[in-house]
Amino acid sequence: MARGKFITLEGSEGVGKTTNLEFICRYLEAAGIDSVQTREPGGTPLAEELRQMLLAVRDEAMSVQTELLMLFAARSQHVQQIIEPQLAADRWVICDRFTDATYAYQGGGRGVDEKQIAVLEALVHGDLQPDLTLYLDLAPEIAAERIANRERDRFEREHRAFFERVRASYLDRANRYPRFEVIDASATLEEVQSCIGEVLGRLIESSRSTQ
């Protein structure tokens, strides 16, 4: 039975994920591919409630373990209710962040042992991995300038060193996993989307050649 492709878009705040997610969906539509756009944390009503709790700025500090478990609780709901059913229906799923973000933010940024994350990863989505991960790479100082004038959530308020560690973790994963494509997010929007289009074109061609 035909199965859709799972594409994730990764990157820190300020890299242009929202704009490029829209571009990806338009590109796939023009290619005649049925796709669904979603995000993490979130994607279902319950997961969106957990998202609001995770991002909210509050007086009570959230422990790293609580944050990690809430992320995977939202992800479990998302995988079971949205991602897996849509892939099984031969739709391509385009997701704003997935488990790579947890390795980058909670692993790299917060210092959580990767083995702990891997245990939850296996429990929540087993062998499910993205077919393609587009990582929008941008220096933290440039990203900070881009979000300077907007109201920042709990993660966006983290210090520069945190985002340096997040970036280093993303780049490390990009070196380790061939499904990653690193896109220079400091380039013009036209250049960024040209690169994304080239990568998507190769994936589409490959998927059609194997049908």
Tokens 């799972």, residue located: 6
Work out the pLDDT band at 211, boundaries 50, 70, 90.
low
Q: Are 67 and 50 in contact (CB under 8 A)?
A: no
> What is the average pLDDT across 153-181?
91
**Model confidence at 152: pLDDT above 80:** no
* pLDDT at 171 (0 to 100): 98
Name the percent of the chain lying above pLDDT 70: 98
Handedness of CA 105, 115, 52, 133 (dihedral sign): positive
Report the DSSP pairing between strands 35-39 and 92-96: parallel
Kindly report, residue by residue over 31-70, the tens digit of the pLDDT: 999 999 999 999 999 999 999 999 888 889 899 999 999 9
- pLDDT, residue 154, reads 75
Average pLDDT over residues 163-185: 97
Q: Tell me the DSSP string of 85-112.
A: HHHHTT-EEEEE--HHHHIIIIIIIT--
Residues facing 37 on adjacent strands: 94
- What pTM does this model have? 0.94
Strand order of the sheet with strand 92-96? Answer: 35-39, 92-96, 6-10, 132-137, 180-184
What local confidence, expressed as pLDDT, does residue 156 receive? 72
Q: Indicate whether 22 pLDDT > 90.
A: yes
Instruction: Answer whether 112's CB lies under 8 Å from 106's CB.
Output: yes
